Structure 1
Amino acid sequence: MSGKLIVLEGTDGSGKATQARMLGQHLQQEGIAFREIDFPRYGNPFAEPANLYLHGALGSDPGDVNAYASSVLFAVDRFASYKEDWGAFYEQGGVVIANRYTTSNAVHQASKLPVGERREFLNWLFDLEYRRLGLPAPDLVVYLDLPTELSEQMLRRRETATGTQADIHEQDEEYLRSCRMNAREIARDLAWTVIHCDRDGSVRTVEDIHSEVWAQVRRFL
Structure 2
Amino acid sequence: MKIVVFLDVRSEALCTAVASEAATVGDSVELVHCHNSVVQVLRRKNKQQETVNTFICLITEKGSLKDAGVVYALFRRRIAVLSLEEGSIASPSIPLLETISSLHVDLSGGLLQAQLLAVKAFFSFNATVSQVIVFEGGDGVGKATQTRLLVNRLVDEGHRVSSIEFPSERNRYGELLREVLSGKKGGIQDLDPKLFSLLFSMNRFAFLPELQYWMCRGTKIVLDRYYTANCGHQASKFPEEERAGFIGHLQLMEVSWLRLPPANLVLYLDLPPHAAFSAMKADPNRGSLDIHETAQRAYKENVRKTYLWCCENMSNWFHTNCCDCAGSRLSREETHNKVYEMIERQIIPIE
Report matched runs for 1:96-111 at 5 Å.
96-111=221-236
The residue aligned with 2:152 is 25
Residue type at the aligned position of 2:307 = A
Higher relative contact order (CA closer than 8 Å, sequence separation 6+): 1
1:71-93 CA distance string (max 9 Å, x none): 0000001111122x332111232
Report matched runs for 1:114-125 at 5 Å.
114-125=239-250
The structure with more helix, counted as a fraction of residues:
1
Residue type at the aligned position of 1:17 = A
- The Cα shift of 1:66 comes to 1.3
Are 2:283 and 1:180 equivalent residues in the alignment? no
Structure 1 residue aligned with 2:177, among 40, 50, 60? 50
The residue aligned with 1:193 is 318
Residue type at the aligned position of 2:301 = R
Structure 2 distance, partners of 1:26, 1:212, is 13
Structure 2 residue aligned with 1:14, among 141, 166, 172? 141
Q: Note if contact 1:38-1:98 (Cα within 8 Å) is conserved in structure 2.
A: yes
- The Cα shift of 1:194 comes to 0.8
SS of 1:166's partner is coil
Q: Note if contact 1:7-1:100 (Cα within 8 Å) is conserved in structure 2.
A: yes
Residue type at the aligned position of 1:202 = S
What percentage of aligned pairs have identical amino acids? 33
SS of 1:86's partner is helix
SS of 1:64's partner is coil
- The Cα shift of 1:139 comes to 0.8
Residue type at the aligned position of 2:158 = G
Structure 2 distance, partners of 1:189, 1:175, is 21
Report matched runs for 1:1-221 at 5 Å.
3-59=130-186, 61-83=187-209, 85-158=210-283, 161-162=284-285, 164-172=287-295, 173-191=297-315, 192-199=317-324, 200-219=326-345, 220-221=347-348
- The Cα shift of 1:135 comes to 0.7
Larger radius of gyration: 2
Q: Note if contact 1:13-1:154 (Cα within 8 Å) is conserved in structure 2.
A: yes
SS of 1:101's partner is coil
Q: Note if contact 1:35-1:86 (Cα within 8 Å) is conserved in structure 2.
A: no
SS of 1:5's partner is strand
Residue type at the aligned position of 1:29 = D
Structure 2 distance, partners of 1:143, 1:163, is 21
Residue type at the aligned position of 2:149 = M
Q: Note if contact 1:35-1:96 (Cα within 8 Å) is conserved in structure 2.
A: yes
Higher mean C-alpha deviation, range 13-22 or range 48-57:
48-57
Q: Note if contact 2:160-2:219 (Cα within 8 Å) is conserved in structure 1.
A: yes
Q: TM-score, normalised by structure 2?
A: 0.59
Structure 2 distance, partners of 1:43, 1:165, is 19
Residue type at the aligned position of 1:50 = L
- The Cα shift of 1:20 comes to 0.3
Structure 2 distance, partners of 1:145, 1:216, is 14
CA spacing shift, 1:154–1:163, aligned 2, 3 Å: closer
Structure 1 distance, partners of 2:232, 2:165, is 16
CA spacing shift, 1:155–1:206, aligned 2, 3 Å: same
Q: Note if contact 2:174-2:203 (Cα within 8 Å) is conserved in structure 1.
A: yes
- The Cα shift of 1:6 comes to 0.5
Q: What are the ranges of 5 or more consecutive residues in structure 1 without an aligned counterpart? A: none
Over aligned residue pairs, what C-alpha RMSD do you find?
Answer: 1.5
